[in-house]
């Protein structure tokens, strides 16, 4: 029986950037990495880009597909080109607004960069608007596909440390780096919803990452509905946890480290850690390509990709519930009701003051 070849997909990029470290780069130029993933899929062609910077757009098109059209207004691009796949590689405060503007044109899928947005109600809205228009929304929590993390999940699922009891994590901040760590916690725990969050933030050493304010120090404790407990330490002295992620099971522990060797395992009774070499770091761009491949395969199959916004919303809810818990000085029971961002509200009212390092 002949197999059906999947149709060629027209890709549009919103926000081109310049690759990290190159002259004039304002960030990481994530659009270039998305495009590499689309190209590797063998079934996508770049149809158009939209960017306020003509220079960035021209360089992008010259590198990836000189015949692609250039727009400064993404709505005009959507109207003229009608792409099947749209990548949104803008800074976080623009994510929900632009995704909400793209969805009515009904591309088949939108892949938006993380974190979802800087306001919780905006995150919920971008998810619901895409649902309403029948558009698959994916958020680039690509670390689910990095080999050390995927292998940790396979070891856990294979019973290497028995039933999962606890997750600990540590990284630079809550919403930029934290969205990845929190998403990994949900990944390890089978995307089980969380029940409550208790958190605190300190604005000393606050940072602006891709324009978004992050607290300089904090902690977020939460409980999943299946009883697994999690603690995420962020910012100031976070590395003292000793690992990016620690999975504690009934029969041992798995750790994902900040540096090579990236993954190690110790079963109860084992004197030494056992290093598991996957041949890849936790930062490899292969994860982005695998995430895109999974997203496109799920688009054909009508299944839920790992990057689906319904999964991303769970980690995102922990971020905003942590801010809300700091505001209430108490535990926040989930689901978190729609609201903007308690941290930004407290900064606006003067209740909190951000102290950025010089
Ligand atoms: N998934 C990851 O591991 C990862 C890593 C780094 C960055 N990111 C995320 O990627 C997102 C984009 O970051 P980046 O580093 O690629 O940014 P960047 O600064 O490299 O590129 C942003 C581009 O957007 C353009 N732009 C700005 N406003 C626009 C508008 N209104 N319409 C059209 N174009 C506009 C700019 O001219 C620029 O070309 C951020 O949300 C960031 O958090 C994700």
State the first-to-last Cα distance of the chain, in angstroms, to the nearest integer: 66
**How many angstroms does the Cα of residue 155 sit away from the middle of ligand 1?**
34
Are 137 and 241 found together in one domain? Answer: no
**How many angstroms does the Cα of residue 174 sit away from the middle of ligand 1?**
19
Residue nearest to atom 24 of ligand 1 (CA): 15
Q: Is 350 exposed, middle or buried (0-12, 13-18, 19+ CB in 10 A)?
A: exposed
- Within a domain: 103: yes
pLDDT(75) > 70: yes
Residue nearest to atom 33 of ligand 1 (CA): 51
- Residue 306: predicted pLDDT: 98
- Tokens linked to 59: 């360089």
Which residue from 25, 36, 48, 52 has its CB within 8 A of the most atoms of ligand 1, so it is best to mutate?
52
Q: pLDDT > 90: what percent of the chain?
A: 97
- Within a domain: 84: yes
**How many angstroms does the Cα of residue 140 sit away from the middle of ligand 1?**
12
Are 133 and 161 found together in one domain? Answer: no
**How many angstroms does the Cα of residue 94 sit away from the middle of ligand 1?**
9
Mean pLDDT of 200-209: 98
- Residue 358: predicted pLDDT: 82
- Residue 2: predicted pLDDT: 61
The alpha-carbon radius of gyration of the chain (Å, integer) is 20
The DSSP bridge pattern shows strands 109-112 and 85-88 to be parallel
**How many angstroms does the Cα of residue 351 sit away from the middle of ligand 1?**
30
201 has which bridge partners?
A: 218
pLDDT in tens, 249-279: 999 999 999 999 999 999 999 999 999 999 9
9 has which bridge partners?
A: 44
**How many angstroms does the Cα of residue 56 sit away from the middle of ligand 1?**
11
Are 54 and 90 found together in one domain? Answer: yes
**How many angstroms does the Cα of residue 205 sit away from the middle of ligand 1?**
23
pLDDT in tens, 216-239: 999 999 999 999 999 999 999 999
Residue nearest to atom 34 of ligand 1 (CA): 51
pLDDT(126) > 60: yes
- Within a domain: 102: yes
Mean pLDDT of 278-286: 97
- Lowest mean pLDDT segment, chosen from 21-25, 170-174, 234-238, 291-295: 21-25
Task: Domain of residue 24: give its range.
Answer: 9-142+286-308
Are 200 and 258 found together in one domain? Answer: yes
Q: Which atom of ligand 1 is nearest to the CA of 72?
A: 33
230 has which bridge partners?
A: 167, 222
Residue nearest to atom 40 of ligand 1 (CA): 91
- Within a domain: 358: no
Number of folded domains that form the chain: 2
Are 136 and 250 found together in one domain? Answer: no
- Tokens linked to 295: 């997203």
CATH number at residue 202: 3.30.360.10
**How many angstroms does the Cα of residue 49 sit away from the middle of ligand 1?**
13
Q: What is the CB < 6 Å shell around ligand 1?
A: 14-17, 26-30, 50-53, 56, 74, 89-92, 94, 113-114, 140, 142, 176, 210
Are 118 and 203 found together in one domain? Answer: no
pLDDT in tens, 33-74: 999 999 999 999 999 999 999 999 999 999 999 999 999 999
Are 157 and 126 found together in one domain? Answer: no
- Within a domain: 355: no
pLDDT(3) > 70: no
Pick from 281, 313, 297, 310: which is nearest to 151 by CA?
281
- Within a domain: 2: no
**How many angstroms does the Cα of residue 66 sit away from the middle of ligand 1?**
21
Residues, the chain: 358
- Within a domain: 100: yes
* Summary mean pLDDT of the chain: 97
pLDDT in tens, 129-176: 999 999 999 999 999 999 999 999 999 999 999 999 999 999 999 999
Are 237 and 104 found together in one domain? Answer: no
The DSSP secondary structure of 23-64, one letter per residue, reads: TT-SS--HHHHHHHHHHHHTSEEEEEEE-S-HHHHHHHHHHH
Residue nearest to atom 29 of ligand 1 (CA): 52
Are 173 and 54 found together in one domain? Answer: no
Residue 6 binned pLDDT confidence (cut-offs 50, 70, 90):
confident
Other beta carbons within 10 angstroms of residue 355's beta carbon come to 10
CATH number at residue 98: 3.40.50.720
Residue nearest to atom 39 of ligand 1 (CA): 17
Are 106 and 201 found together in one domain? Answer: no
- Within a domain: 244: yes
- Residue 5: predicted pLDDT: 73
Residue nearest to atom 1 of ligand 1 (CA): 140
């Amino acid at each position: 029986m002949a197999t059906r070849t999947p149709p060629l997909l027209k890709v549009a990029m919103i926000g081109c950037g310049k690759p990290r470290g190159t002259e004039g780069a304002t960030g990481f130029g994530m659009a270039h990495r998305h495009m590499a993933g689309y190209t590797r899929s063998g079934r996508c062609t770049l149809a158009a880009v939209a960017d306020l910077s003509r220079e960035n757009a021209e360089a992008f098109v010259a590198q990836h597909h000189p015949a692609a059209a250039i727009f400064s207004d993404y709505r005009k691009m959507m109207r003229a080109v009608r792409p099947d796949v749209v990548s949104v590689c803008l800074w976080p405060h623009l994510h929900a607004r632009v995704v909400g503007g793209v969805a009515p044109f009904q591309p088949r899928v939108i892949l938006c960069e993380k974190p979802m947005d800087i306001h919780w109600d905006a995150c919920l809205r971008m998810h619901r608007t895409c649902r309403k228009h029948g558009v698959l929304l994916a958020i680039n929590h690509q670390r689910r596909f990095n080999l050390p993390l995927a292998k940790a999940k396979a070891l856990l699922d294979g019973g290497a440390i028995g039933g999962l009891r606890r997750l600990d994590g540590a990284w630079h901040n809550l919403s930029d780096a934290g969205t990845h760590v929190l998403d990994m916690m949900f990944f390890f725990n089978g995307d089980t919803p969380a029940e409550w969050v208790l958190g605190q933030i300190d604005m000393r050493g606050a940072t602006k990452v891709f324009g978004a304010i992050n607290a300089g120090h904090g902690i977020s404790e939460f409980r999943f509905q299946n009883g697994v407990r999690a603690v995420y330490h962020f910012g100031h002295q976070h590395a003292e946890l000793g690992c990016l992620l620690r999975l504690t099971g009934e029969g041992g522990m798995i750790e994902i480290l900040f540096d090579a060797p990236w993954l190690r395992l110790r079963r109860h009774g084992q004197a030494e850690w056992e290093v598991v070499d996957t041949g890849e770091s936790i930062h490899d761009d292969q994860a982005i390509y695998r995430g895109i491949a999974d997203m496109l395969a799920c688009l054909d199959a009508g299944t839920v990709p790992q990057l689906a916004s319904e999964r991303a919303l769970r980690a995102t809810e922990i971020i905003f519930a942590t801010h809300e818990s700091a505001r209430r000085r108490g535990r926040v029971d989930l689901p978190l009701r729609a609201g903007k961002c308690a941290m930004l509200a407290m900064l606006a009212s003067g209740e909190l003051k951000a102290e950025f390092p010089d």
